[in-house]
């Protein structure tokens, strides 16, 4: 796929070393630098904040990694961000999720291959994007009854909200695949 990105993430000269250190850390952690992060290099403070947030979630003390990736995958699917859909699908496939399970999950959150507790948190996160006014105390109480804390629920919603923002930034600037800045 050929991209026609709308801006080129030129790193401000005075912040080049700082940005390169951040991107080097990302590459060491992931094995590559996602094109979406290259876009964020246009604003080094935003890049740093974003990478720190991602790092927090990669080391989350309580949330299941598969849950977090499914939140990103399904939010990206609704936002129709091809880059994020493909990136998160590939992570889920590496985790043992089948293509059929990915398709089923996109059609119905009840079909996500997670346990009931994680599915409850997933549904709250998805509802926070689709219909935030519909999230109720009963939803939060159900998550707590399944062992989640207020912080867990908050963090799941933050993952969904941050992913929605990220997908919209990528779509705005037409970053559609990993080759965007190649």
Phi (first) and psi of residue 10, to 5 degrees: -80, 125
The secondary element (H helix, E strand) that includes residue 70 is: helix 65-79
User: Which domains are present in the chain?
Assistant: 13-58 (no CATH), 65-172 (1.20.1290.10)
User: Which ranges in the chain belong to alpha helices (H)?
Assistant: 16-30, 35-40, 44-58, 65-79, 82-94, 99-107, 116-130, 137-145, 150-172
Radius of gyration of the chain (CA): 17
Q: Could you tell me the pTM of the whole model?
A: 0.89
- In tens, the pLDDT along 61-74 reads 999 999 999 999 99
pLDDT < 50: residue spans in the chain: 1-2
Establish how many alpha carbons lie within 13 A of residue 21's alpha carbon, considering only the half-sphere containing its beta carbon.
7
Query: pLDDT digits over 88-119, tens only?
Result: 999 999 999 999 999 999 999 999 999 999 99
Residue 85: other Cβ atoms inside 10 A: 21
């Amino acid at each position: 796929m050929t991209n026609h990105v709308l801006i080129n993430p030129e790193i401000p000269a005075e912040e080049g070393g700082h940005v390169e250190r951040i991107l080097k850390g990302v590459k060491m952690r992931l094995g590559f630098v996602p094109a979406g992060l290259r876009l964020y290099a246009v604003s080094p403070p935003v890049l740093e904040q974003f990478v720190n947030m991602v790092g927090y979630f990669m080391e989350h003390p309580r949330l299941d990694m598969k849950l977090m990736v499914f939140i990103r995958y399904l939010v990206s699917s609704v936002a129709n961000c091809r880059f994020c859909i493909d990136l998160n699908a590939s992570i889920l496939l590496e985790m043992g999720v089948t293509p059929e399970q990915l398709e089923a999950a996109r059609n119905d959150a009840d079909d996500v291959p997670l346990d009931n507790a994680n599915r409850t948190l997933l549904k709250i996160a998805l509802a926070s994007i689709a219909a935030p006014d519909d999230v109720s105390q009963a939803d939060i109480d159900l998550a707590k009854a399944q062992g989640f804390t207020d912080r867990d629920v908050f963090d799941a919603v933050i993952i969904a909200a941050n992913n929605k923002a990220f997908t919209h930034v990528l779509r705005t600037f037409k970053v559609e695949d990993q080759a965007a800045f190649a």
